[in-house]
Chain A
């Protein structure tokens, strides 16, 4: 935390955030808005009921293109890349040989042999090196497009109504986890119907130099409908309510994909990929721990990231992410617990500043939008 603002990396929207009086924080080496003056709860509610606009330009973009592009991406990720249609996106991961996470990511299929991989900001350099390390055996190019790319995420039920007047591209036909290319406010964009909030919405990728114009155009167009700029604070509470994993919390290089409840991105029958053997073995010998959702029983007991899960005075697991939930009005969290205790209605305890408090395992996701 000794890093000063001048050493932090900045997105093309840094000045725009400051002009909006955002509270800026060091997020994995990036100077990012955690909230604007409205506050996290108001921003969270805006995304659930109207719309919010996030700067996610810090995310990393890696383009893989060439005759063996499909083979390389298939080798590096557990999900079935061959099944992606051109114009389709899926959630997947880079795994180590032991099945634990290098990172999680989105794969965009731009062409038969062209893919855009969108990775976490804090892992971007590691991910690029990881892809490069495996690339020499494949006939394709790997380009880190992160510095040249801006990205904003318009999220919330009113997103489509806000965005449509700004583009001639029909948005309604773009299905969830599909994308297309078009112009928004006269700016060339990749328009992706994806997000990290559990709401309908669009992620717009554009040239870094166009990002501020795009941000201002969308923000201005949406203001009359209640669109507000939204920061990383509510991004975290929104994704937590939907049980979406965050690297460094639910997933990291000590947790494998099956324990994390991400078996659905692991296609063991698709052919070989890095981590497959370990996950095959893990499948026949189930993990002793499992990721569960919990709520604490008292209003005053607010669990936080990384607190111990205890039972009878013994540490039996750990909290990955936890916070008071603005939508649900209760104190929620995700935690790894022994598999034999991982049943709905089961009781565990969270150690909060030396005090063991009661919590109940409840169904996840905590929040699901009504379509």
Chain B
């Protein structure tokens, strides 16, 4: 449920470093489950730069809306355009086809949680 090769935020985003200075960003299994059926993902444009923790978009479900916060400082180099027609990919495959943006990292990954720490956080939130 929480892949070991990802880094996590306490706001339930994940970041997957590619090893070339870029990283994919999305929301976690726990986050998609809490949102329910996702119907729209509002994403930034390529070239937009964000500080760590800054809001970069929103994800809308039938029931509610949630902000997307950037796990680490970076510049957007790609967005998942497929989500425009298939937002349900966020529910079905949050760590795969449901990725949201690809960023060129401009800072460090300090403050992010590893899978074990994130799992502990989620476990505490759901009890």
Binding site for B on A (CB under 8 A): 23, 34-35, 39-42, 44, 233, 237, 299-300, 302, 304, 323-324, 326, 353
Contact = CB atoms under 8 A, between A and B. Distances in A.
B60 interface: yes
Given A40-B37, A41-B37, A233 B42 contact: no
A35 B39 CA distance: 16
B60 A302 contact: yes
Interface of B: 33, 36-37, 39-40, 42, 58, 60-65, 91
Nearest to B61: A40
B31 to A, nearest CB: 13
A39 B37 contact: yes
A323 B62 contact: yes
A40 B60 contact: no
A323 B61 CA distance: 9
B91 A39 contact: yes
A41 B62 CA distance: 8
Contacts, number: 39
Of A300, A326, A353, most buried by chain B (CB within 10 Å of CB) is A300
Given A40-B63, A41-B62, A326-B62, A302 B40 contact: yes
A294 B98 CA distance: 31
29 contacts: A23-B33, A34-B36, A34-B63, A35-B36, A39-B36, A40-B36, A40-B61, A40-B62, A40-B63, A41-B37, A41-B62, A42-B37, A44-B62, A233-B36, A233-B62, A233-B63, A237-B62, A299-B40, A300-B40, A302-B39, A302-B40, A302-B60, A304-B64, A304-B65, A323-B62, A324-B39, A324-B40, A324-B60, A324-B62
Nearest to A302: B60
Nearest to B88: A41
Contacts of A300: 40, 42
Closest 9 CB pairs of A and B: A40-B62, A41-B37, A39-B37, A324-B39, A302-B60, A40-B37, A300-B42, A40-B36, A233-B63
A39 B40 CA distance: 16
